[in-house]
Structure 1
Amino acid sequence: MVPLLPHRQACAYIRVSTDKQGQSGQGLEGQIASITRAAELWGIHIVEWYQDVASGRHSDSLGKRDGVQRAIRHAQALKMPILVDGLDRLSRDMASVEKLVSETRIEIISAKEGSLADPVTLASRAARAEREGDLISENTRRSLEAKKAQGVRLGNPTNLPEAQRKGAKSNADRAAAQVKVIAGELDRLEAWSMKVPQIVELLNQAGSRTSRGLPWTNAALRPVLKKAKALRAPLQFTEVRATTDEDCPPAYNQNTNFGRF
């Protein structure tokens, strides 16, 4: 393992292959815990988290995943490494990983395998990840063939447009619930007037997580905070109006002594 300098900065990247895993947090929480432990052990400060819900099997998957592309740009801009749970989370295609490192000169740090800056080590780990991916694909194919032979109907029987509408509503409901939770947390912490980085630090210290189970970042909190403030504004307006109507004296033309002097 290549020794790591204390107090280094890095961005973290996590990935799951299916929407179901992404929505439920299955797989993501384990990766977050593993990366967080490694970062604490090695004295690395994680400045941003990135994630994808996509397959890592194909040679062009790196270029198609928005999360990993943003992580690469961030790492290049600040000349810092990318921290992953395992190399297979980045990609299961050996050539893609080798090309990424050789072209960008970004150091990849795996929570399971340490720093993968050395080309020989990187090639060995990438080859193993690729082989594991091949085995998973082959086992999946055989399992599906066996189910088809048994007469099991494969695929999603739900109408696709209907499934998409239900998914969109579920996402909207989850986002609305998240806004209410954050509004409650800000009330409890008395943090409405604080700056975004300060609120992020408080929320993470309190154990709060995003709707996807990730630690809060400035970018993740800003849109939620904006909606939480909009949710709070009507309540404040109602309170101010009630106080004003009660405390203000009556108009002059409503005063019984009006015109007597």
Structure 2
Amino acid sequence: MAKKATIDNRPLEQDVHKKYVLYFRVSTKKQGESGLGLEAQRAYIDYFYKDKRILAEFTEIRSGKTIHKRPELQKAIALCKREGATLVVAKIDRLSRNTENALHIYKELGERLESCDIPNLDKFTLTLFMAIADRERVLISIRTQQAVEARRVRVGEWRVGGANAKKAAAGLRGAQLSRELAEENENSRRASAFINMLRSTGKTYEQIAEQLNLAGFRTPRGSNFHKMQVQRLIKRIESN
């Protein structure tokens, strides 16, 4: 498939007559109500597609494990097929977390699929990025489990001879910690991808901090980002 010419990873003017359908997805009702996950996705798409011809947008609050139980996605695909439009997602994992499913949708759309985190998307890059994302999910799961176990040892939640009630309570705390760590890892991954995208366009630390705040990202303490925090975060990203 021929590569699409771009400027700053954005489509050239020759694409002005193309039609687009936007698809947003968050995994939980809490994310949907808070708007944080949706704000980040919208910031990506607004940056790249703000001057494009948008036919419609669809928002789904559902897990990405299956594509068959996602009515909004099916509506978006149907509209794209009917109008010859291109489906757009902010990040490819918003479409699917499964390589086979993503490739199935790509084929069903007649290869009319674009993702803000994959410039010049084609079958090869789609397969590659999905494989990398799948590997990253495995590593996140491993790191989360290790962090939970380290926390349990550190605070003594699983001391031998403890009462059953105490163990049960510790188990609940451990499960909650697992969820919090998983969410923190996912937010960190999204923020890192967003920062890398902004850096590729030549944004300054101050401009990146402003865009992070506008997109709904917050520091681990729940505060807005500032220039020095962005600089430290970029150094940490580069050292990994």
> Structure 2 length normalisation: TM-score?
0.55
Q: 103, 115, 118: which one pairs with 1:113?
A: 118
Rate the CA distance shift 1:148–1:50 in 2: closer, same or farther, 3 A: farther
In 2, Cα distance between the equivalents of 1:19 and 1:142?
Answer: 28
> 2:25 aligned with 1:23, yes or no?
no
Q: Displacement of 1:147 after TM fit?
A: 5.8
Q: Matched residues, percent identical?
A: 32
> 2:55 aligned with 1:51, yes or no?
no
Is the Cα–Cα contact under 8 Å of residues 88 and 115 in structure 2 kept in the other structure? yes
Letter in 2 for 1:51: T
Is the Cα–Cα contact under 8 Å of residues 118 and 125 in structure 2 kept in the other structure? no
**Residue in structure 2 matched with residue 125 of structure 1 by the alignment:** 129
In 2, Cα distance between the equivalents of 1:141 and 1:53?
Answer: 26
Q: Displacement of 1:103 after TM fit?
A: 3.4
Is the Cα–Cα contact under 8 Å of residues 92 and 133 in structure 1 kept in the other structure? no
Where does 1:85-124 land on structure 2 (aligned, <5 Å)?
Answer: 85-116=90-121, 118-124=122-128
In 1, Cα distance between the equivalents of 2:119 and 2:58?
Answer: 19
Structure 1, unaligned runs of 5 or more: 157-212, 214-261
Q: Please list the CA deviations of residues 207-255 of structure 1 after superposition, one character each: whole Å capped at 9, or x if unmatched.
A: xxxxxx9xxxxxxxxxxxxxxxxxxxxxxxxxxxxxxxxxxxxxxxxxx
Report the count of equivalent residues.
Answer: 151
In 1, Cα distance between the equivalents of 2:142 and 2:70?
Answer: 24
Letter in 2 for 1:105: G
Cα RMSD (Å) of the superposition? 2.5
Larger gyration radius, structure 1 or structure 2: 1
> Structure 1 length normalisation: TM-score?
0.51
> 2:84 aligned with 1:84, yes or no?
no
Q: Please list the CA deviations of residues 127-148 of structure 1 after superposition, one character each: whole Å capped at 9, or x if unmatched.
A: 1222223333333444455566
Structure 2, unaligned runs of 5 or more: 6-10, 158-169, 177-215, 217-240
Where does 1:1-261 land on structure 2 (aligned, <5 Å)?
Answer: 2-3=4-5, 4=11, 5-40=15-50, 43-56=51-64, 58=65, 61-116=66-121, 118-144=122-148, 151=157, 152=170, 153-154=172-173
Q: Displacement of 1:75 after TM fit?
A: 1.0
